[in-house]
Amino acid sequence: MFSPIQKLAANATLSVTANPGGSPSINVTGIGVDPTHLIYNPDPVRFGSVFDGDNADATILVLNPAGAQTSGPITFAMDGGNPSCHFNVTQHPPGGPQFPCFTVDDPVAGDCISGTTSLAAGETCNIHVHFAPLTTIDDLTGFLDVTANPGNSPATHQIALSGTGLSTITIDPTFFDFGQLEAFSDFASETFTVTNVSDEPQNVDNIEFFGSADDLFEDDNCGSGLAPQGTCQVTVFYEPESRGEFDDAFLDIFSTNGFAQAEITGTSTGSGGGL
């Protein structure tokens, strides 16, 4: 057995004595090399901010350093905790399609082939990962699991992936309080500005109220679309027909790849109409 403790060439002579049989000998040699420890660059992978509906790609270089032993087959896949990117129930109707936020692209020439590629000392291959947010969440995180034995210690190495989904549209203001109005007699309005903050045209697919919005209605000039950096106005009217306070009404704006929401509150008083 050869168990080197240094990166050096080693020589020894093995002698065997038997009587009868003589004393033959044999020279044995070996070279100590570094154990395999694959290097990944970048690690972690940070995609930054990406508009909903757009995507970003990153290439991870896998290197087996010079002087190391050949790696075992490299196997990689997204971790089971990889988040799903989809519009949530308050933004789009429930039951819509869900897609993984982070995926591994199909290999091309020079790429690592999962379960097949082994790297000799000094060799490299690439893993391509893809980020495609479909919903606006501050931070999205996932993990790419890479297994190689020899190659990693422990055998599975996790590469953290992160990115942020940005809505293509914004609304201003994001909160408005109508204050106190007399039921069945007072009337008030507020205008909200919707802006396409992306570099692509956006269709305004739907404008609706969510929550306690029975006394709210709207008028807008958004038409069917917004040019890049373009704006449109949504005017919300409050004409209370009942007494009481509402604090959970929302104005929801849906675009091709975006969502914006404004919270609206108000209070109505008076004797007409009841609660």
Domains (ranges, CATH) in the chain?
39-166 (2.60.40.10), 169-269 (2.60.40.10)
Report the Cα–Cα distance between both ends of the chain, in Å, rounded.
90
* Residue 234: closest CA among 174, 180, 167, 184: 174
Measure the CA–CA gap between 240 and 135, rounded to whole angstroms.
Answer: 34
pLDDT in tens, the chain (275 residues): 655 545 555 677 667 776 776 667 677 765 544 556 899 999 999 999 988 878 899 999 999 998 888 999 999 999 876 666 654 433 444 445 566 889 999 999 989 999 999 999 999 999 999 998 876 666 788 899 999 998 887 889 999 999 988 888 999 999 999 999 988 888 899 999 999 998 889 889 889 998 888 889 999 999 878 999 999 999 999 998 877 788 789 999 988 778 889 999 999 886 544 43
The answer to whether the beta carbons of residues 74 and 90 sit under 8 Å apart is no
**Predicted local confidence at residue 248, as pLDDT:** 80
Amino acid at 51: F
Measure the CA–CA gap between 52 and 265, rounded to whole angstroms.
Answer: 29
**Predicted local confidence at residue 10, as pLDDT:** 60
**Predicted local confidence at residue 4, as pLDDT:** 54
**Predicted local confidence at residue 26, as pLDDT:** 77
**Predicted local confidence at residue 183, as pLDDT:** 85
Detail the DSSP E strand segments found in 105-243.
Answer: 124-131, 140-147, 156-166, 169-172, 175-182, 188-196, 202-211, 216-220, 225-226, 231-238
Which residues make Cβ contacts (< 8 Å) with residue 174, sequence separation at least 6?
261, 262, 263
Residue 262 parent element (H or E): strand 258-269
**Predicted local confidence at residue 95, as pLDDT:** 43
**Predicted local confidence at residue 139, as pLDDT:** 79
Pairing of strands 156-166, 45-51: parallel
pTM, full prediction: 0.68
Length of the chain counted residue by residue: 275
Reading the block at residue 24, the tokens are 């033959």
Pairing of strands 188-196, 156-166: unpaired
Q: How many CB atoms lie within 10 A of CB 141?
A: 14
Burial class (CB in 10 A: 0-12, 13-18, 19+), 33: middle
Asked if the peptide bond before residue 107 counts as cis, ω within 30 degrees of 0, the response is no
- Ordered DSSP codes for 154-170: SSEEEEEEEEEEE-SEE
* Residue 229: closest CA among 259, 206, 199: 199
**Predicted local confidence at residue 125, as pLDDT:** 96
Distances (CA, A) of 38 to 35, 43, 150: 10, 12, 9
